[in-house]
Homo-oligomer: A and B are copies of this chain.
Amino acid sequence: MKAKAVGTFITALALSISASIASANTALPERLIPNPVGVSEEFAKFVESKQPAKSVSSPQTTEEWIALQTQFDAAMSEVTRLGMKKHGVTFEKKSIGGVDTFLVMPKNVSPEFEGVRFVHIHGGAFVFGGGEAGLGEAAWIANGLGVEVISIDYRQPPLHPYPAALEDTVAVWKELIKTQSPNATALFGSSAGGNLTLTTTLKLQQQGLPTPGVLFAGTPATDLKYTSDTWHTLQGLDPLGAREGVIDGTFALYSNGADLAHPLLSPVYAEIKDFPPTIFISGTRDLLLSDTVRMHRVLRTANIETDLHIYDGQSHGDYVRGLNYDFPESDDALREIRMFFDKHLN
């Protein structure tokens, strides 16, 4: 037993109130972190199968961003197509309120969800995931819950920065609630899609429009400013990479000079009132864990009904990988989402 270990232990538990040395940083030594073991065998295998990073040259111009978008979305579309095929999920293009969307259809619709379509806003750091590339999560929910899903193919940077995406999601919502009850409709998305799920709802409130009956915000980006702790603490443990570089780049492209602390960009700064019940999901290796739990607290402080579920060892959005991989944590997440939706939807 090392003397230092005892020392830190004692210090922590003794809640020392004596004078101390202020420090603004913690120095961490080089380390080797074992893969998570308190998880299912299937998820452990999935973690082991994750690919090491490949070097990709960095976009510097609009054209280069578009080239990267194209390349990335093509790869992602391929994966999504395989996942949909595996579960017999189909889709068709559909224009709603002048906006491109996809109607995503499960093999079987649950009796309770007949006649209603949920609304999905895809992720991809605001820049990626357009077209079929963004359908993975919609298909995961459509198949897992047995419900038809409208997935919004909103306009994206570099050509269409903020607030184009929100204009599109609001336009689809306004059109959709002409034919189905907003209280019976769930709105959901992960990562940037989680951000847009929350900010779309804020924008609907601003415009005095009916809001969804329930939200699922998966590992949402809720503070585009670089203030959340897990961007730092978990760097290197989440294949998402680092905040510096392409992620900062996408946030800059999307915000296009607008104040990152604006609530429609960073909902963690919103004044919340009468918000829909919201379920959050994240993991202990998710770079956006802090963004997730901070938004959870913002809603809780306003006495909004929420659920928070954190999976051990999961990185950013791992639960959605259940479309392509079989692991019980993904089914468990679907079960929680379904229970939360059942509880709060009319």
Contact = CB atoms under 8 A, between A and B. Distances in A.
Interface of A: 1-18, 20-39, 48-60, 68, 72, 75-76, 79, 82, 123-125, 128-129, 136, 223, 227-230, 232-242, 244-249, 268, 284-285, 289-290, 293-294, 296-297, 300-301, 308-313, 315-317, 320-321, 324, 332, 336
A16 B290 contact: no
- 9 nearest interchain CB pairs? A5-B245, A8-B241, A8-B53, A12-B239, A1-B58, A293-B310, A7-B53, A36-B229, A38-B227
Contact of A4 (B53, B128, B247, B294): B53
Q: How many copies of the chain does the oligomer comprise?
A: 2
A2 B244 contact: yes
A21 B29 CA distance: 26
B12 A55 contact: no
A273 to B, nearest CB: 18
Contact of A237 (B28, B297, B308): B28
A157 to B, nearest CB: 15
22 contacts: A3-B58, A4-B55, A6-B56, A6-B57, A6-B59, A6-B245, A10-B54, A10-B68, A12-B241, A12-B315, A15-B136, A33-B232, A36-B290, A38-B228, A233-B233, A284-B293, A293-B310, A293-B311, A293-B312, A294-B312, A300-B309, A301-B332
Q: Which of A26, A32, A268, A290 has most chain B Cβ within 10 Å?
A: A26
Nearest to A128: B13
A31 to B, nearest CB: 5
A23 B33 CA distance: 11
B294 A16 contact: no
Nearest to A49: B20
Given A26-B32, A33-B25, A316 B12 contact: yes
